[in-house]
Amino acid sequence: MSLPSPAGIQGTAGTPRPSSRRRRRRKSLAIAYEAGQGDGAEPRGERWEPPAWREQLERIREMRSSRDAPVDEMGVHKCYDISAPPQVMRYQVLLALMLSSQTKDQVTSAAMLRLRQRGLTVDSVLQMDEESLGRIIYPVGFWRNKVKYIKQTTAILKQKYGGDIPSTVEELVQLPGVGPKMAHLAMHIAWDSVAGIAVDTHVHRISNRLKWVKKETKYPEETRVALEEWLPRDLWKEINWLLVGFGQQTCLPVNPRCSQCLNQDICPAAKRP
């Protein structure tokens, strides 16, 4: 699926300097982001891949064909102002991603609408005090922390990137409150660039249920690395959108609707009658 993408001029160089320990950790992750796993360089017969994954994927596509999950109607790609200048659109994408962490799409969408009604730009957020910003974004999850992260990140964007957002995953994850999933989605949506797979709780859960990982993974970042080792690169952008909606409607965290799932007969985790 090709999401609307406010791509435009590239961000300027320069990032805040984190502590040495944090910088080392970020660097190791960034190397994995840019390594280009799953790009077909390794001979097909020598790379592990899960059995029946293509059939499972096609059935998920069929189940997602109506595009009526919350992510389809109120996801981050629906939260920015398409009439705004590209730089402003990219900033709005990043803020929507920051708000979306551990928050339902409906709540994120409503918060973004309230922000946009105030004129959502780097300058407008810098001029807003934390109390006012908090009232606008409430009740997104962990809103108090997000107020601080938004203010800090916005100041960095103004100082280091001329008000734009960084154009690499390595730089994005160094911003306060921006994790790997957000960074990859920002690359997908804001820059129309695929640097890796965006793995959230839905992608993580479903990948383990379908055994799309060689061995069980505990964290989304482990899942991302495991998926990128075998999943063809041309599917990296689509897989997040597919699995998030599938996880919202059918493959639920608790009491998954296996009886309604087209993959019931070929899913290792399915509850069969």
> Taking the CB of residue 49, how many other CB atoms lie within 10 A of it?
15
DSSP string, 87-130: HHHHHHHHHHHHHHTTS-HHHHHHHHHHHHHT--SHHHHHHS-H
Measured between alpha carbons, how far apart are the two ends of the chain, in Å? Answer: 34
Q: Which one is catalytic: 146, 151, 160, 181? A: 181
| 236 within 8 A of 194, measured Cβ to Cβ | yes
Contact criterion met (CB below 8 Å) for 140 and 134 = no
How crowded is residue 91: how many other Cβ atoms within 10 Å of its Cβ?
Answer: 26
| Residue 40, Ramachandran bin (φ over 0: left; ψ between -120 and 50: alpha; else beta) | left
Q: Do the beta carbons of residue 174 and residue 156 sit within 8 Å?
A: no
Contact (CB, 8 A) for 11 and 171: yes
Q: Say if CB 238 and CB 224 are below 8 A apart.
A: no
**Tell me, what DSSP letter sits at residue 78?**
G
**Catalytic-residue membership of 181:** yes
Active site residues: 181
